[in-house]
């Protein structure tokens, strides 16, 4: 497995334990209350849980819409969190782990959880999907963010096959650099970074690696 690891550095057991403890606190202290209070909102917006179930076409269209919309909102929210004051007081919590692993995907300041969480729930909130669709969307979104933070790039990674899909290699670059130099702000798909040129550093590094040249300059910025 080590040959697929993006960074050679490993987190200490103490750092991993800290992440796990914080996650438990966040999930029960922040995420659970949000889910409880947001349920009536989703019901008001038209979400249903009864039969008949939605067709696979409806589910697919809604899920694609959620990904596209979430990417747009998340990108701008993430860029805002990388402004000096917000990074120092809020987003720096998530960046405590320069070498991310799966669980760090959910490791963030409570204010960030609420702020960026809006990007995830906005699509379902305005479309009123079936509860099954909402569950599927949440599962896919969690799997995506865990994969993006896993720290490994495998031959079978989705980013090798799906155009504009970010994945672990794309997001790992974001975690390695100082907040003013990072770029790669996108969530799932990278079209926003490509449009606004905030992935230039990453693409240059990929180009160098493709011809067998390792760029050590980025490591010096850490």
pLDDT, average across residues 134-155: 98
In tens, the pLDDT along 204-219 reads 988 988 787 654 544 4
Cα torsion at 115, 120, 122, 123 (round to 10°)? 160
Average pLDDT of the chain to the nearest whole number: 92
pLDDT category of residue 24 using cuts at 50, 70 and 90: very high
Assigned token pair, 51: 């039969």
Determine the Cα–Cα distance for residues 153 and 202; give it in Å rounded to an integer: 15
pLDDT category of residue 177 using cuts at 50, 70 and 90: confident
Checking phi first, is residue 197 left (phi over 0); if not, alpha (psi -120 to 50) or beta?
left
In tens, the pLDDT along 96-139 reads 999 999 999 999 999 999 999 999 999 999 999 999 999 999 99
Q: Per-residue pLDDT for 180 more than 80?
A: no
Determine the Cα–Cα distance for residues 147 and 166; give it in Å rounded to an integer: 10
pTM: 0.91
Bigger pLDDT: 173 vs 219 = 173
Determine the Cα–Cα distance for residues 107 and 96; give it in Å rounded to an integer: 9
C-beta atoms surrounding 86 within 10 Å: 17
Closest CA to 100 of 55, 192, 200, 167: 167
**Distance from chain centroid for Cα 197:** 19
pLDDT, average across residues 55-67: 98
Phi, psi of 41 (to 5 degrees): -65, -45
pLDDT, average across residues 179-193: 89
Q: Which pairs with CB-CB distance under 8 Å and at least 24 residues apart come from 33-37?
A: 34/114, 34/117
């Amino acid at each position: 497995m080590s040959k697929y690891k993006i960074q050679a550095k490993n987190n200490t057991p103490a750092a991993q334990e800290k992440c796990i403890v914080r996650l438990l606190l966040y999930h029960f202290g922040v995420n659970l209350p949000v889910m409880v209070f947001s349920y009536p909102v989703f019901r008001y917006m038209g979400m249903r849980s009864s039969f008949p179930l939605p067709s696979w076409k409806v589910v697919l269209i809604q899920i694609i819409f959620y990904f596209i919309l979430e990417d747009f909102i998340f990108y701008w929210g993430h860029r805002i969190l990388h402004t000096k004051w917000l990074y120092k007081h809020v987003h720096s919590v998530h960046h405590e782990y320069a070498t991310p692993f799966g669980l760090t995907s959910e490791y963030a300041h409570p204010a960030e959880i609420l702020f960026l969480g809006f990007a995830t729930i906005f699509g379902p909130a305005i479309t009123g999907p079936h509860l099954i669709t909402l569950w599927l969307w949440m599962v896919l979104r969690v799997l995506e963010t865990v994969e993006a933070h896993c720290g490994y790039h495998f031959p079978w990674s989705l980013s090798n096959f799906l155009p504009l899909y970010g994945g672990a290699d794309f997001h790992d670059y974001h975690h390695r650099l100082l907040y003013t130099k990072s770029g790669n702000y996108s969530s799932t798909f990278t079209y926003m970074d490509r449009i606004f040129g905030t992935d230039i550093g990453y693409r240059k590094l990929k180009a160098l690696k493709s011809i067998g040249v390792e760029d050590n300059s980025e490591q010096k910025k850490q």
